[in-house]
Amino acid sequence: MKPIRKAVFPVAGLGTRFLPATKAIPKEMLPVVDRPLIQYAVDEAREAGIEQMIFVTGRGKSAIEDHFDIAFELEKTMSERGKDLSVLEPTRLGPGNCAYVRQQEPLGLGHAIWCARDIVGEEPFAIFLPDEFMHGTPGCMKQMVDAYTQVGGNLISVLEIPHEQVSSYGVITPGAQDGALTEVRGLVEKPKVEDAPSNLIVSGRYILQPEVMRVLQRQEKGAGGEIQLTDAMAEMIGSQAFHAVTFDGARYDCGSKAGYIQANLAVALERPDIADEVRAFAIDLLK
């Protein structure tokens, strides 16, 4: 069983739901308190033992590459002023720890993952959707990697939601359950409520075997006229082990304005330097 050493971050989206904020800034660089969304995802990957970060970018995403580079002028100025540089340590990714590829056409999540095929090679790999903010200890991917060492194959993170909301998500057909692990017997992208096989939704974290790249190579367009990763995974079910890990933590949809504000509030209330002030303000505001 090969270890999970590489992670793919599809970050080529336009972020239109956050315009005009995302006109010049990638949505992945929007901060939750004082760290951008992409930084939280990379930190989660590192916690899980992942070594190489692969960013699938597009036009206007250079800020992500700049963020993970060394900012010589900034660091020199801070050092001269006696300021603590440790706050920048998590933002440094060396040449051997990151790679960037372009998705030149907006053909969907499946196509974005396929764009990273040459760097992924013949290894199992993780996928992070950065605007799915997974908040918990240990992190979502660490929980998944721990499960992977037990069962191997392919894994996806899932969350249980009210059944009437399932039409907005990818939904699994569940099989046998063993604690947080659930056998996956099928996947459906955005089903009608009455047709949904469960209320367990796919929640933005994946561990996939390299064979998925060959499926994506010949994948036709699916829902929304895009190449869907869900369709490719569904094709692999039955030929390889496939499990879901129910994440023990909170998930915030930072692709929506309400979810983004909720994430900021939740993180702020856990920060000892600002929690009391934010809590007092929230209570006063709600009165």
What CATH number does residue 176 fall under?
Answer: 3.90.550.10
What is the chain's mean pLDDT, rounded? 91
Residue 218, in any domain of the structure: yes
Name the residue with higher pLDDT: 220 or 43.
43
Residue 222 has pLDDT above 80, yes or no: no
* pLDDT score for 251: 93
271 pLDDT band (50/70/90 cuts)?
A: very high
Residue 225 has pLDDT above 70, yes or no: no
Give the mean pLDDT of 140-144.
96
Residue 85, in any domain of the structure: yes
Query: Are 197 and 244 within 8 A, CB to CB?
Result: no
* pLDDT score for 221: 66
Residue 273, in any domain of the structure: yes
Position 218, amino acid: R
67 pLDDT band (50/70/90 cuts)?
A: very high
CA–CA distance from 287 to each of 161, 264, 284 (Å)?
Answer: 29, 20, 5
Residue 145 has pLDDT above 70, yes or no: yes
* pLDDT score for 96: 81
* pLDDT score for 229: 87
Give the mean pLDDT of 50-62.
92
Residue 112, in any domain of the structure: yes
Residue 44 has pLDDT above 80, yes or no: yes
Structural domain containing residue 125: 6-286
* pLDDT score for 189: 80
Least confident of 35-49, 180-194, 200-214: 180-194
> 196 is written with which tokens?
């949904």
For tokens 């590459």, the residue is 65
* pLDDT score for 31: 96
As a whole number of angstroms, the distance between CA 40 and CA 9 comes to 12
Strand partners, 243: 155, 183
As a whole number of angstroms, the distance between CA 126 and CA 131 comes to 16
* pLDDT score for 224: 61
Residue 39 has pLDDT above 90, yes or no: yes
As a whole number of angstroms, the distance between CA 120 and CA 7 comes to 8
Task: Look at the chain and report how many structural domains it folds into.
Answer: 1
Residue 149, in any domain of the structure: yes
Give the mean pLDDT of 134-161.
93
Give the mean pLDDT of 90-107.
87
> 49 is written with which tokens?
């033992």
Residue 172 has pLDDT above 80, yes or no: yes
220 pLDDT band (50/70/90 cuts)?
A: low
For the CA atoms of 283, 159, 155, 253, what is the dihedral angle to 10 degrees?
-50
**DSSP codes of every residue in 156-202:** EEEEE--GGGGGGSEEEEEEEEETTEEEEEEEEES--GGG-S-SEEE
* pLDDT score for 272: 95
Residue 220, in any domain of the structure: yes
161 pLDDT band (50/70/90 cuts)?
A: confident
* pLDDT score for 232: 87
Residue 6 has pLDDT above 90, yes or no: yes
Residue 245, in any domain of the structure: yes
For tokens 């459906």, the residue is 188
Residue 1, in any domain of the structure: no
Give the mean pLDDT of 240-268.
94
